[in-house]
Amino acid sequence: MKKKSTVLLTALLIVSLLVPVFAAGPAQAAPAGYDPLGYYLYNMEDVNQFYFLVTNPSSQSVNLKFSSGQDYDLVIRQNGKIVWKDSWNKSYTQSLRQENFLPGHAKFYKIDAPKLGKGSYTVQAVFAAGPSTGRVVAEIQWRVGQAAPEKPSADASLLDYYLFEAPNTDELLFVVENNTDRTIKLNFPSSKEFDLIIYNSYWEKAWQDSWAKWYSQSVKKEKLAPGQAKVYRAKLPKLSRGTYTAHAYFYGARLTGPAATMKLKVGTQTTNPNLSQLSFGAWYNGGKQPQVAFEVKNTSTKPITITFPQGKTLEVVVTGDNGVSWRYSDSYRSGNTLMTKELAGGGASYSFIYLPKLPEGKYSVDIYYLAYSDQKPVASTSFRIW
């Protein structure tokens, strides 16, 4: 097997227009607000594949009901037009399936990237079960024609290891997958199953996940079934500006070094000198699928390039007079990668944020446009649920 030395390119939970993906109905633009599952989509250039990761970070099992043998679909678009679907050349059984998705576990799908012409593409992932059935739950931007990075070194372990950054939660995700056709026994010498270490550019240890943790010394044994994956999460610390290397260690297998590594860049600053030319608006759309619409308009006659810190574009905060609150944050790239968008002169862009099912009450909505400010909302609106 090969050790996966991963560099996260991009990940997104979408707030865009509806797109038809499953025959059962139109795919919606974001995971349901009450969905406890986590969705991540990555482009792994070193192996020319896309990785779609579905996690259960909650403390309870989630019952997944699949209407057929199809677990997911991957859709690639160029200029809004669908140019490829993973499901196009596949057939699926039509039998219903149910699965008990355990806490702390993950479902891991690897999709070979198709051969497409040079250019920029949008890659969207749809999951076929759970609260967000039929919705686009993750999206990344993919550029074809760039040189692939050097492949990782070989790994003697039977397991596969991946290290990612979760852009919306400032976490590191360490995934251990059994990609073989047999059950693998995991033997932990203590309750410590993994560790994460971050080194600065001088290879000095800047942080270690286990520094503030205690572990029992009792031996722990576990079995990992074929195709099953374990996911470990750790909150990223506050680091000074610079470039860092993260190492992930796994103690359930016989490894002599880190199982996976990745680069982190912290503290890149951006400026947006033309933001005074933008105007913002927000309003509530009711109906069967309530949503908040957000408009960004270029009031000038010239195009404006907008740069977003850490790849995030907006945050939405919904607060009710009944004590209920809900927050949504999108991300178009990895947490440490800048993103720029161009808005034509006189043009406008729109985002549609689908709301969860809310109880009766009066609600206020504040929208933060992160190229402008993460402290002061640029637009607000209100609505009432009867």
3-state percent helix, strand, coil for the chain, nearest multiple of 5: 5, 50, 45
Q: How far apart are CA 385 and CA 358, in angstroms?
A: 7
Structure token pair of residue 51: 């990785």
* Superfamily the domain 275-385 falls into: Intracellular proteinase inhibitor BsuPI (2.60.40.2360)
Q: How far apart are CA 95 and CA 69, in angstroms?
A: 7
In the chain, list all ranges with CATH 2.60.40.2360: 19-144, 160-266, 275-385
As beta bridge partners, residue 121 has 142
Q: What is the mean pLDDT of residues 158-174?
A: 80
Pairwise pLDDT comparison (365 vs 14), residue with the higher score: 365
Q: Which of 332, 282, 283, 281 is nearest to 307 (CA)?
A: 332
* pLDDT given at position 168: 55
The set of residues, in sequence order, having a beta carbon less than 8 Å from that of 157 and lying 6+ positions away, is: 1, 3, 253, 254, 255, 259
Give the model confidence (pLDDT) of 347-363 as tens digits: 888 888 889 989 999 99
- For domain 160-266, which architecture applies? Sandwich (2.60)
Q: How far apart are CA 69 and CA 87, in angstroms?
A: 11
Q: State phi, psi for 351 to the nearest 5 degrees.
A: -125, 145
Q: Which of 62, 21, 41, 34 is nearest to 132 (CA)?
A: 34
Q: Which of 13, 12, 32, 18 is nearest to 133 (CA)?
A: 32
- For domain 19-144, which architecture applies? Sandwich (2.60)
Confidence of residue 267 (pLDDT cuts 50, 70, 90): low
Structure token pair of residue 291: 């949503």
Give the model confidence (pLDDT) of 331-344 as tens digits: 543 333 456 778 88
Does residue 149 carry a pLDDT above 60?
no
* pLDDT given at position 310: 52
Does residue 325 carry a pLDDT above 90?
no
Give the model confidence (pLDDT) of 46-91 as tens digits: 678 899 989 888 888 899 999 999 999 999 998 889 999 999 988 9
* pLDDT given at position 170: 76
Q: How far apart are CA 331 and CA 311, in angstroms?
A: 6
Question: What's the Rg (C-alpha) of the chain?
Answer: 22
Instruction: Beginning with the edge strand found earlier in the chain, give each strand of the sheet holding 171-177 in spatial order.
Output: 38-44, 49-55, 105-112, 229-235, 171-177, 160-166
* pLDDT given at position 346: 86
Structure token pair of residue 250: 């796994």
β-pairing verdict for 81-85 and 72-78: antiparallel
Burial per residue of 31-59, b for 16 or more beta-carbon CB atoms within 10 angstroms, e otherwise:
bbbebbbbbbbbbbbebeebbbbbbbbee
* pLDDT given at position 165: 80
* pLDDT given at position 311: 57
Q: How far apart are CA 24 and CA 127, in angstroms?
A: 13
Q: Which amino acid is at 205?
A: K
As beta bridge partners, residue 77 has 82, 122
Q: What is the mean pLDDT of the chain?
A: 79
Does residue 33 carry a pLDDT above 80?
no
* Coil, strand or helix at 179: coil
Give the model confidence (pLDDT) of 183-215 as tens digits: 999 999 989 999 999 998 878 889 999 988 888
* pLDDT given at position 203: 80
Three-state secondary structure readout of 157-178: CCCEEEEEEECCCCEEEEEEEC
Pairwise pLDDT comparison (87 vs 346), residue with the higher score: 87
* Coil, strand or helix at 116: coil
* pLDDT given at position 309: 57
**In the chain, pLDDT over 90 holds for what percent of residues?**
24
Q: What sign does the dihedral 167-61-58-368 (CA atoms) show?
A: positive
Confidence of residue 268 (pLDDT cuts 50, 70, 90): low
pTM score, two decimals?
0.43
Q: Which of 165, 56, 53 is nearest to 104 (CA)?
A: 56
* pLDDT given at position 274: 64
